[in-house]
Chain A
């Protein structure tokens, strides 16, 4: 084959592949959902997103990052709707006018995990503040996500509550990774960490981690998810109708029922508790 011919064939191939890869314009309206790694890693969105797409015809682009980055995407108008769990940052987001509608969707809770040997003698602590104090005074390894996620924000709040600034301490290490990876690191290195219960249950079932729950059940450890529609007044390119449709979908009864039962079959416990329409105060907020 001469190289002239080869070039012709290559160009033709390009055109052919282009036809199959490049989507046919913006025929299907898309919704960009910026969310946390926990909703994706637990598998919940794998159940909910296809349902939403089927009901409404939208194509959902789920971008799973930390809550911090998800809200940054909202601030820049790069997402249409957010599903996040970082209440303090969310309030600021709303106050700054980046969101139009913020609604309670569901919650689960955080657990403090550590190696079974428990070198800092954390087990039996009444509160997370006590536990954190013990970890700090024992200089026991603590793995933080350090990625501005909702979990990271919660963890920073808990340190503050314990009156400790762990930043820069040798025993305090930031993985810069998602929840699943951070749990793996904590398990491998024999450190303490906090995780949302859903990711912990899902991961521990698949890979038997060398970690055990040491503190749980404190109201302060609740992990509350809100859905927020990004303000189209700030960013005209936002898909308002799609964002609203997704918000409504998350709150409707059928979806809430699915959230209620998600994970029960596999883990024996639900991973999330539906909260649509509830007063945030009833959760101790």
Chain B
């Protein structure tokens, strides 16, 4: 028990004193995962909307693939991304392995199917008459799509939270492609793993508490946006 109490004390201390190293780690976590979530939103919502609103042969297969991707194991993503990014691998010339960009790439791959899957579900859940109604009011195709996305914003916001929550708490892929380089690619999760290995349980607990705090604050913020207007 003492160790947990001590962890809380250390977390408070680290936060209170604005420890520059911890601050840097926390900030990088936010940046990397935030950026990865943004990329996954752009791709996930766009492609997800197209898939949901159109019919084409093989649609069921595509949706199944996306749904499988929602549970993509991060270590598998980490393994394949690092093989691609190896110096002597196919994308080695980009010199991206062990950089924050590499973590963004891996995390985007993890988050995109989550956002896409939730988008497809949300769009397909809209009442089927809505489309006709919007078209009847004289909307262009583009306007209709934006109207529909707007209608589905509550579940879409859940997609944002799921995507962000998935990547900021992820460790396997981050450590494989980022390498946990001090002051450069060390994020909250990889730092926690390392401090645990070193036996610095108090610091590990403190980092975990900071991670949880971040997740909560961001989800609280997103929930505020989501719940601003109650659904009809």
Contact = CB atoms under 8 A, between A and B. Distances in A.
B87 to A, nearest CB: 5
B133 interface: no
Given A17-B35, A21-B100, A61-B98, A180 B199 contact: yes
Contacts, number: 95
A24 to B, nearest CB: 11
B214 interface: no
Interface in A166-223: 177-181, 183-184, 202-203, 206-207
For the side of the interface on A, what is the size category? 35 or more
Contacts of A4: 146
Interface in A89-144: none
A180 B98 contact: no
Q: Pick the most buried of A14, A17, A18, A177: most chain B CB atoms within 10 A of its CB.
A: A17
A248 interface: no
Given A40-B194, A180-B199, A202-B198, A32 B38 contact: no
A41 B39 CA distance: 35
B220 interface: no
B101 interface: yes
Interface stretch (B65-73, B112-120, B180-188): B180-188
Contacts of B201: 206-207
A49 interface: yes
Nearest to B38: A14
Contact of B198 (A10, A17, A203): A203
B31 A184 contact: no
B197 A13 contact: no
Instruction: Give the interface SS of chain B, mostly helix, strand, loop or mixed.
Output: helix
Contact of A61 (B39, B88, B179, B200): B179
A228 to B, nearest CB: 17
Contact of B184 (A10, A59, A178): A59
Interface string A16-53: 01101111001000101000010011010010010000
B31 A21 contact: yes
A4 B142 CA distance: 10
Contacts of B104: 21-22
A7 B38 CA distance: 10
Nearest to A17: B35
A3 B149 contact: yes
Interface in B119-158: 146, 149-150
Given A14-B39, A206-B201, A49 B88 contact: no
Q: Which 9 A-B pairs have the closest CB atoms?
A: A180-B197, A203-B199, A206-B199, A17-B35, A61-B98, A207-B199, A63-B179, A61-B181, A3-B146
Interface of B: 31-32, 34-35, 38-39, 41-42, 86-88, 92, 95, 97-101, 104, 146, 149-150, 179-182, 184-185, 194, 196-201
29 contacts: A2-B146, A2-B150, A3-B149, A10-B38, A20-B31, A21-B31, A21-B100, A21-B101, A21-B104, A32-B98, A41-B197, A59-B184, A60-B181, A61-B179, A61-B184, A76-B86, A77-B87, A78-B86, A78-B87, A78-B97, A179-B197, A180-B199, A183-B199, A202-B198, A206-B199, A207-B199, A235-B87, A237-B87, A237-B88
